[in-house]
Amino acid sequence: MTDDFTTEIYYDADADESLLENATVAVLGYGSQGHAHAQNLADSGVDVVVGLREESSSRSAARQDGLDVATPAEAAARADVVSLLVPDTAQPAVYEEIEPHLEPGDTLQFAHGFNIHYNQIRPAADVDVTMIAPKSPGHLVRRNYENGEGTPGLLAVYRDATGEAKERALAYGKAIGCTRAGVVETTFREETETDLFGEQAVLCGGIAELIKAGYETLVDAGYSEEMAYFECLNEMKLIVDLMYEGGIGAMWDSVSDTAEYGGLTRGDRVVDDHARENMEAILEEVQNGDFAREWITENQANRPVYTQLKDAEESHEIEAVGDRLRALFAWADAEEAPEDESNENEDDRTHVRADD
Ligand code: NAD
Ligand code: MG
């Protein structure tokens, strides 16, 4: 723990893994997070059973990784801790299957707060409801663990029925390697709302629109597609890497004075008061549940809007230009490709989230 921050941060020394010594953990889902949690838990000496539907193509992958596989209901019946790591949109249906097998004192463990915060899952009052959310995709959660490193994560307790919910969640966080790097305490509400806002306004939605708008502005003015791609998309990574390593200041320090002056005087003309008002409206829709209702209805209707927008995005000219140019520079990203693709062989619906 540290008192330098406004929130608590927990490390290995704050977590007691013996709380999982006599416990069985059911990991439901074997995708990005599921495969990493299951393997890390097992390597930490925890008794793990992976819960997957009979027809799931992930079953063979989990077995090949040396794990015990059962149906979600069977796994939940055997477990003291049930980690719900199927896609967020599939969780309510999977929860219905396992609900009869949650006993008083069991733990329902999440990696994202959406379904609890927006009341899509309402667990019984005698079950602990906790979250350990690694701030990273699953393949890194696994790779870091194998390298003896950790992955930072979030901890939240929605319901403490046993009086030990937080300690048990920390033990889980330790077993998957998160307390090696640090686990930050938050709430289901804060994690859910900041996560949705971030991916909509800044990370996924915001950055994709910024890139496309810049690209289109240059191409419409007669500049070449290649130049527009390099300026507006390719260089984005170099700039973000500098910020990631040393803050926004490190970026300003390493660009030219001309770039710094131009950026400081023009940046807020792009992200102007109107853009900030739009951000506030987007946050409001997250907070008042409008976004959650919209997304749930969209799924019930088989995703008509999602499908249409996804198709339009894929057919944007910048994608074809990028494919062509990246093929010429294939050496550039060869070492960055994720080695684990176990989440792509499933007939599932795609991710609700993106970050992380
Ligand atoms: P995913 O899409 O990678 O994998 C989900 C797995 O669930 C599939 O591989 C399959 O085994 C199973 N599955 C799919 N559809 C199913 C269905 N209809 N019924 C039953 N099982 C089904 O999921 P993910 O990205 O690992 O997300 C799991 C949880 O982790 C979510 O709550 C997500 O928000 C959270 N999370 C994800 C990340 C990330 O980087 N992917 C990071 C932090 C938290
Ligand atoms: Mg996110």
Dig out the tokens for 35 from the structure: 């495969």
d(CA 32, CA 252): 35
58 in contact with ligand 1, CB cutoff 6 A: yes
Average pLDDT estimate for 126-130: 98
**68 pLDDT higher than 70:** yes
pTM here is 0.90
Compute, in angstroms, the gap from residue 77 CA to the centroid of ligand 2: 31
Q: With bands split at pLDDT 50, 70 and 90, how would you rate the model's confidence at 333? A: low
Q: Which two tokens stand for residue 212?
A: 């496309």
* Top mutation candidate among 35, 57, 85 for ligand 1, by most atoms within 8 Å of CB: 85
pLDDT of 352 reads: 37
Burial, 46: exposed, middle or buried (Cβ in 10 Å; 0-12, 13-18, 19+)?
buried
Catalytic residue (choose from 35, 37, 101, 112): 112
Over residues 44-64, the pLDDT tens digits come to: 999 999 999 999 999 999 999
Q: Is the CB of 48 under 6 A from ligand 1?
A: no
Residue type, 280: E
Structural element, H or E, at residue 177? none
Q: Tell me, yes or no, if 112 is annotated catalytic.
A: yes
Please say if the pLDDT value at position 356 is more than 50: no
Cα(195) to centroid of ligand 2, in Å?
A: 4
218 neighbors 227 (Cβ within 8 angstroms): yes
Task: Pull the structure tokens for residue 76.
Answer: 């939940």
What is the spatial distance between Cα 182 and Cα 5, in angstroms, rounded to a whole number? 12
Task: Report how far residue 189's alpha carbon sits from residue 158's, in angstroms, rounded to the nearest whole number.
Answer: 9
Give the pLDDT of residue 330: 73
Average pLDDT over residues 6-11: 90
Centroid of chain to Cα 122: 22
